């Protein structure tokens, strides 16, 4: 349990793209939006770089990559992980 003043944080990254919307999925997704998908990764990485200084004194204990299909953005996930502690828990 995270307590007030605990330097550990958890982050969620939502990747709202997939090749098709599954009938059981209730998440916000944009199936087959290649134009939006092409713009998403640079914007996400820019946001990550802008926000990272705000958490400079915190330990990222866990990261969750969800959405649609985050594995469509494996290069983006790799870029984010380069800035995290190697002991961070990662869930995709």
The answer to the question of residue 1 being in a domain is no
Number of domains in the chain: 1
What the block records as the tokens of 16 is 């709202």
The answer to the question of residue 15 being in a domain is yes
Please check whether residue 18 is in contact with residue 31, taking contact to mean a CB–CB distance below 8 angstroms. Answer: yes
pLDDT class of 43 with cuts at 50, 70, 90 = very high
SS3 90: strand
Structural domain span for residue 24: 8-91
| Helix H or strand E segment including 77 | helix 74-81
What the block records as the tokens of 71 is 């594995």
Closest by Cα among 13, 17, 11, 9 to 66 = 13
pLDDT at 4: 59
The verdict on pTM exceeding 0.85 is no
pLDDT at 33: 77
């Amino acid at each position: 349990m995270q307590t007030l003043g605990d330097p550990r944080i958890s982050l969620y990254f939502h990747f709202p793209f997939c090749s098709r919307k599954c009938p059981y999925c209730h998440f916000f997704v944009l199936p087959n939006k290649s134009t939006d998908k092409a713009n998403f990764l640079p914007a996400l990485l820019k946001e990550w770089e802008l926000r990272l200084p705000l958490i400079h004194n915190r330990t990222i204990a866990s990261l969750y990559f969800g959405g649609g299909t985050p594995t469509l953005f494996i290069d983006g996930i790799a870029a984010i992980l380069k800035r995290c502690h190697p002991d961070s828990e990662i869930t995709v």
